[in-house]
């Protein structure tokens, strides 16, 4: 009987999976040391394998090490663990990630954990995001609002509109820009916050983000006049976005008139 021949693509997948298993086992053995530099190197090797498509064959071994690393006394190890946990799928790993993202963690660990929660896209992260938006550290506020706006369940965003409005009016410009860029829902209160940023006219990054965010809204006359002025702005990008916003406004008005 002739041996069963596997398709070339199946062979490649099998070889890659086998290679990942070997590399993960080697990294697990490497982690068994008191040297935090070597531990960090080991976790990074595990994360590299987790970034590949099929992690089912290595997830258990990876999770065991990452959970252990999450409780390490060294901040750098906890940071690496926070990154790695974002690639896993289990409830246990999510619970640990939520704990690392809590205010009780150091700001550095917390930032990486909140960023990893976005990859997990769990509604359980909502409380973490809302707490983060109240942080005194603007980078925590920024990563938290990005996480909140990444949730697939739009009702969770609508129910927490005050938090979104707070970030649109944040004292730190990067928080406002990140909020504008990642907006997923429309609301007249959001519109008012967008045009408030639009009226500032600088810096250019804030203006660009505001013009992107305002598309899809019907413009009031004052805002329309300001956007018309931007058609002569030195920045080509801003001129294009201004024109798009005006075209969008015109389309909305035409569609609205057809319904009457």
Per residue in 5-19, pLDDT (tens digit) is 445 444 444 435 567
Euclidean distance between CA atoms 31 and 40, whole angstroms: 8
What CATH class does 24-120 carry? mainly alpha
Q: Which is more confidently placed, 151 or 200?
A: 151
Q: According to CATH, what is the number of the domain 186-260?
A: 1.25.10.10
The reported pLDDT for the residue numbered 199 is: 86
- Report the first-to-last Cα separation within the chain, whole angstroms: 77
Percentage of the residues of the chain whose pLDDT score is greater than 90: 74
The reported pLDDT for the residue numbered 23 is: 87
Mean pLDDT in residue range 147-176: 94
- Strand, helix or coil at 99? helix
Query: Confidence class of residue 92 from pLDDT cuts 50, 70 and 90?
Result: very high
Place of tokens 């925590």: 140
Query: Confidence class of residue 194 from pLDDT cuts 50, 70 and 90?
Result: very high
Please state the pTM of the whole predicted model. 0.86
Range scoring the smallest mean pLDDT among 20-34, 71-85, 128-142, 169-183: 20-34
The reported pLDDT for the residue numbered 138 is: 98
The reported pLDDT for the residue numbered 12 is: 47
Euclidean distance between CA atoms 244 and 190, whole angstroms: 19
Answer for the pair 210, 197: CB distance below 8 angstroms, yes or no: yes
Percentage of the residues of the chain whose pLDDT score is greater than 70: 91
CA 68 to chain centre: 25
C-alpha closest to that of 132 among 121, 145, 113, 150: 145
C-alpha closest to that of 78 among 58, 60, 61, 102: 102
Mean pLDDT in residue range 114-130: 95
DSSP string, 111-157: HHHHHHHHHHT-GGGHHHHHHHHT-SSHHHHHHHHHHHHH-S-HHHH
Query: Confidence class of residue 202 from pLDDT cuts 50, 70 and 90?
Result: confident
Mean pLDDT in residue range 90-100: 96
Give the helix ranges, DSSP H, for the chain.
8-31, 36-50, 59-70, 75-85, 91-100, 107-120, 126-133, 138-150, 154-159, 161-168, 173-182, 188-200, 204-214, 221-229, 236-258
Record the tokens describing residue 79, joined without a space: 């940071």
Q: Where in the chain is the domain with CATH 1.25.10.10?
A: 24-120, 186-260
Euclidean distance between CA atoms 251 and 247, whole angstroms: 6
Euclidean distance between CA atoms 107 and 124, whole angstroms: 20
Query: Confidence class of residue 3 from pLDDT cuts 50, 70 and 90?
Result: very low
Residue 174 has pLDDT above 80, yes or no: yes
The reported pLDDT for the residue numbered 171 is: 96
Place of tokens 């997948």: 13
The reported pLDDT for the residue numbered 6 is: 40
Whole-angstrom CA distances from 8 to 15, 49, 53, 126 are 11, 22, 18, 44
Q: What is the mean pLDDT of the chain?
A: 89
Q: What's the helix, strand, coil split of the chain in %, to 5? A: 75, 0, 25
């Amino acid at each position: 009987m002739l041996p069963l021949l596997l398709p070339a693509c199946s062979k490649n997948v099998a070889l890659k999976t086998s290679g990942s298993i070997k590399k993960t086992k080697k990294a697990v053995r490497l982690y068994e040391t008191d040297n935090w530099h070597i531990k960090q190197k080991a976790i990074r090797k595990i994360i590299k394998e987790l970034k590949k498509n099929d992690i089912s064959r290595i997830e258990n071994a990876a999770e065991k090490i990452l959970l252990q690393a999450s409780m390490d006394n060294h901040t750098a190890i906890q940071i690496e663990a926070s990154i790695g946990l974002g690639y896993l799928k289990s409830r246990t790993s999510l619970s640990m990630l939520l704990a690392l993202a809590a205010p009780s963690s150091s700001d550095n660990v917390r930032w990486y954990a909140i960023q990893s929660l976005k990859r997990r896209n769990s509604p359980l992260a909502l409380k973490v995001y809302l707490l983060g938006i109240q942080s005194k550290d603007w980078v925590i506020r920024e990563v938290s609002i990005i996480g909140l706006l990444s949730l697939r369940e739009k009702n969770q965003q609508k129910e927490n509109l005050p938090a979104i409005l707070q970030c649109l009016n944040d004292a730190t410009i990067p928080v406002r820009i990140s909020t504008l860029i990642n907006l997923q829902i429309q609301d007249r209160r959001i519109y008012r916050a967008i045009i408030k940023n639009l009226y500032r006219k600088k810096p250019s990054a804030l203006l660009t983000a505001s013009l992107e965010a305002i598309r899809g809204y019907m413009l009031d006359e004052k805002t329309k006049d300001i956007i018309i002025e931007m058609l002569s702005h030195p920045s080509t990008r801003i001129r294009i976005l201004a024109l798009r916003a005006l075209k969008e406004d015109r389309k909305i008005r035409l569609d609205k008139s057809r319904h009457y």
